[in-house]
A and B are shown apart, each in its own frame.
Chain A
């Protein structure tokens, strides 16, 4: 479908997967921890509909040697509540016209209430090196790390649509104890806000 409303990109650069957060990582009952790296939320009363067309990420573990781990993953969840967090950078697609409405919440390290998982993928937290080519090096190629895309190139398929009271979060999930990941990932969400 054609994009509806004003378009924005929410951005988290070098988002830590581990340290420096007041409320995260949060322990989970099955021996996992998670951090909500980047989250959007459309609160009740906004009068807007939020549509997410693309979620992408890149490994930004640059120049800091870490021992990566398997079985850690990125997940996209729909949410129905959103608290706290640090404000995420917002880039309006029409730079000199649009600003994000104050009521829309775009956060790094938010506390959210997830409802359903939309997709997940396994990632490497290893650092990449310019002279190598393994799993982590593949994670710096933009086209290969689009975790979600819908509604852009097919009129019949919906984007990830959030009426009032719903949101989306990009969550990093990792077993405990996790490796030290002093640097994390870059993440972006491309979305629109429309009145319908």
Chain B
């Protein structure tokens, strides 16, 4: 069986802010494809000295089209892949209206403190790529467990829900299109 066409979206300048959408993917209502989100990574990029805070990143499903924000261009795993459906958008700091009640897949708590070469702590663990993995449901299950699946008109929002405006993060998302 051939693998699905796979992409990774990376963004390395995610400024932490209160109730901000840090990273999102949206499969537009007119999309002819299904998006499956397999893995998500997060790592701290804060090198300048700051007094870090705890952030709480929620993984939330949404349905309303996002607006604004910074567009991120995903990269192909195979140079020969077809183009990503034009209705699929990956965004940083967009405005997203969440449904009521919220649909929460999970959450992760991260540090926004600066990391130091001569120290180790929760602010630095994410640099080891396997330890920065914050979501991989379904990835190694050989089809037993579904990944987060986004049909047309559905999206996934990674949102800081804490009142924090400190630090910079890098995030990366692996997804397929079929």
Contacts and interface: CB of A to CB of B under 8 A. Distances in A.
Interface of A: 1, 68-71, 78, 116-126, 133-139, 141, 143-148, 150-151, 153-163, 165-166
Contacts of B10: 117-120
B75 A122 contact: no
A139 B130 CA distance: 12
Interface in B10-24: 10, 12
A160 B75 CA distance: 11
A133 B121 CA distance: 11
A157 B174 contact: yes
B4 interface: yes
B77 A158 contact: yes
Contacts of B176: 156-157
A119 B38 contact: no
A46 to B, nearest CB: 14
Contacts of A155: 1, 3, 142-143
Interface residues of B, number: 42
B50 interface: no
5 contacts: A121-B132, A153-B140, A155-B1, A158-B3, A166-B79
Nearest to A80: B79
A66 to B, nearest CB: 10
B129 A1 contact: no
B78 A161 contact: yes
B58 interface: no
Interface stretch (B60-68, B92-100, B111-119, B159-167): B111-119
A143 B133 CA distance: 13
Nearest to A162: B79
Q: Pick the 9 closest A-B CB pairs, nearest first.
A: A161-B78, A144-B128, A158-B77, A158-B6, A68-B117, A116-B75, A158-B3, A1-B3, A124-B117
A161 B170 CA distance: 24
Interface in B115-166: 115-120, 124, 127-132, 139-140, 142-143
Contacts of A148: 129
B130 A146 contact: yes
B85 interface: no
Contact of A160 (B77, B119, B120, B128): B77
A22 to B, nearest CB: 29
A148 B36 CA distance: 19
Given A70-B116, A134-B119, A120 B12 contact: yes
A123 B115 CA distance: 11
Nearest to B77: A158
Contact of A133 (B76, B120, B129): B120
Contacts of A124: 117
A120 to B, nearest CB: 7
Contacts of B120: 133-135, 137-138
B47 interface: yes
